[in-house]
Chain A
Amino acid sequence: MATYVGRRLLYSIPVILVASILLFVFVRETTDPTARLRASRDTHAVARERARLHLDDPLPNQYWHWLSDFARGKWGDSAITHRSVASDIKRAMRNTLQLILWGILISAVVAIAIGVYSAVRQYSALDYTFTGLSFIGLSMPPFWFGIIAIELLVYQPKHLFNLHDPIVYSIGLHGAGGGVLDYARHLALPVATLCVQIIASWSRYQRASMLDVMSADYIRTARAKGVPRRKVIFKHGLRNALVPLVTVMAIDIGYLFGGLIITEKIFSIPGMGNLFFTALDGGDTNVLLPWLIIVATSIIVFNLLADVLLGVLDPRVRVS
Chain B
Amino acid sequence: MKTGDELSDAPREGLGGAEPAQLLPSPQVDAEGELAAGAEPVARTQWQLFRRRFFRHKVAVAALILLVLLYVCALFAHQLAPYDLHPKLNIDVLSQARKGPSAKHWLGTDELGRDQLTRVIYGGRISLAIGLTVAIAATVIGTLIGMIAGFFGGWTDQGLSRFTDLVLVIPDLAVLAIAGKELGNGSVPVIILILAALYWTYLARVVRGLVISLKEKEFVEAARASGASSFRIIGRHILPNCVGPITVAATLTVATAIITESTLSFLGFGVQSPTVTWGNMLSQSEGTVGTHLSYLIYAPGLAILLTVLAVNFLGDGLRDAFDPQSKH
Interface residues of A (CB under 8 A from B): 14-16, 18-19, 22-23, 26-27, 30-32, 135-144, 147-148, 150-151, 154-155, 197-198, 200-202, 204-205, 208-209, 211, 243-244, 247-248, 251-252, 255-256, 258-262, 265, 276, 280, 288, 291-292, 295-296, 299-300, 306-307, 310, 314, 317
Contacts and interface: CB of A to CB of B under 8 A. Distances in A.
B131 to A, nearest CB: 12
Interface string B280-297: 001000100110001001
B183 interface: yes
7 nearest CB pairs, A to B:
A259-B1, A138-B4, A144-B301, A201-B7, A155-B290, A258-B171, A255-B1
A258 B8 contact: no
Interface string B176-219: 01110111000000000000000000000000000000000000
Given A139-B255, A154-B290, A30 B178 contact: yes
A1 to B, nearest CB: 16
A137 B16 contact: no
B2 interface: yes
Which residue among A31, A198, A201, A208 has the maximum number of chain B CB atoms within 10 Å of its CB?
A201
A139 B7 contact: no
B8 A138 contact: yes
Contacts of A154: 290
Contact of B294 (A31, A155, A208, A255): A155
Contacts of A244: 12, 15-16
B14 A317 contact: yes
> Binding site of A, secondary structure by majority: helix, strand, loop or mixed?
helix
Contacts of A204: 8
B7 A22 contact: no
B234 to A, nearest CB: 27
B129 to A, nearest CB: 18
A142 B2 CA distance: 12
A248 B267 CA distance: 28
A312 to B, nearest CB: 13
Interface stretch (B22-30, B43-51, B143-151, B306-314): B306-314
Which residue among B2, B262, B304 has the maximum number of chain A CB atoms within 10 Å of its CB?
B2
Contact of A141 (B165, B286, B301): B301
Contact of A261 (B165, B173, B305, B316): B173
Given A31-B178, A139-B308, A200-B8, A15 B165 contact: yes
Interface string B57-90: 0000000000000000000000000000000000
A18 B166 contact: yes
B305 A280 contact: no
Nearest to A16: B169
Nearest to A14: B162
B16 A247 contact: yes
A15 B328 contact: no
Which residue among B3, B15, B311 has the maximum number of chain A CB atoms within 10 Å of its CB?
B15
Nearest to B262: A141
B304 A258 contact: no
Contact of A296 (B171, B179, B305): B171
A248 B16 contact: yes
6 contacts: A26-B178, A30-B179, A138-B4, A151-B297, A252-B1, A252-B2
A19 B166 contact: yes
A138 B312 contact: yes
B183 A247 contact: no
A141 B8 contact: no
Contact of A150 (B8, B255, B290): B290
A147 B305 contact: no
A255 B256 CA distance: 15
Contact of A243 (B15, B165, B183): B15
A197 B7 contact: yes
Contacts of A276: 174, 177
Contact of B297 (A147, A198, A292, A299): A147
B169 A19 contact: yes
Contacts of A205: 8, 16
A287 to B, nearest CB: 12
B137 interface: no
B266 interface: yes
